[in-house]
Amino acid sequence: MKKIFFILLLLATISFYGKAQTEENKYTIGFDGGITYNVNAYQIAKNANYGNNYYGVSPRYNIGVDYGYNVSNRFRPRIEFKYVSVMYGLDFSNTIYNITDKDFVTVNYFDINLHFDYLLLTIKNFQLFASPALKYEFELNAYPEVNWSPYLNMEHPGNLLGGAIAPIFKYNLSDHLGLTLTPEYTIFLEPFASGNSKPYYRYSGNFGIEYKFGD
């Protein structure tokens, strides 16, 4: 499934590039990546069936590509496709399992995010944007490091909805090419693990490069 998404993403990039060449100063394409830090990705009470509980493991990483359209000099909606890898721990102390006390599970997600960038400030080559976003992510795969209990992956959500806010610090190397720094805060609408009443949220810090088409 992951290969299919990356193929579709490549085709979308090629199509976007062809269309962007026919417009002036309207379209942007960006690539970025960085660290991802989960908060409250654990379980408060032990699992009722198996006796294990979750604990958070951070940080991990994310990489992505986005496509933007400049509606005006200040406003730009942007769609983003992102690969996100997170990890959590499973504690089996005092359970019926004797194989290991702890295990680590990696969960990989594919994100489809809609950003609404607004230009707040321009000083020479430097620009500052505010970027609220709507986020949807779904699970690509999940696997424990000790591959003996795949059913233990069932309690984290396979799909997540949420919202995010981020400032974008951009330095323009030229009229077309810029470097970006984006610290982002995301909060989701449901907990990461069942039995956790605390909200699940995430911090990330990304570096990227952005290209604006046109003369």
- Residue with tokens 């959500």, as numbered in its chain: 157
Residue 18 DSSP SS3: helix
Position 123 scores a pLDDT of: 94
What is the structure's pLDDT at 207?
97
pTM of the complete model beyond 0.75 = yes
Two tokens at 196? 């956790």
Tell me how far apart the alpha carbons of residues 28 and 170 are, in angstroms, rounded to a whole number.
13
The pLDDT score that the predictor gives to residue 179 is: 97
pLDDT of residue 83: 95
Q: What pLDDT, on the 0 to 100 scale, is given for residue 65?
A: 95
Q: What is the pLDDT of residue 105?
A: 78
CA distance linking residue 112 with residue 51, whole number of Å? 35
Number of domains comprising the chain:
1
Q: Can you name the residues that pair with 204 across neighbouring β-strands?
A: 36, 184
DSSP per residue, 20-63: HTTSSS-EEEEEEEEEEEEES-S-SSPPTTT--EEEEEEEEEEE
pLDDT for the residue 171? 97
Q: Are 110 and 140 in contact (CB under 8 A)?
A: yes
Q: Which domain holds residue 17?
A: 2-212
Residue 20 has what pLDDT? 45
Helix or strand or coil: residue 178?
A: strand
Per-residue model confidence as pLDDT tens for the chain (215 residues): 455 555 545 545 544 544 444 455 689 999 999 999 988 876 655 555 555 666 777 789 999 999 999 999 899 999 999 999 988 777 766 666 555 566 677 888 999 999 999 999 999 999 999 999 999 998 888 776 665 454 455 567 778 899 999 999 999 999 899 999 999 999 998 887 766 778 889 999 999 999 998 75
CATH number at residue 175: 2.40.160.20
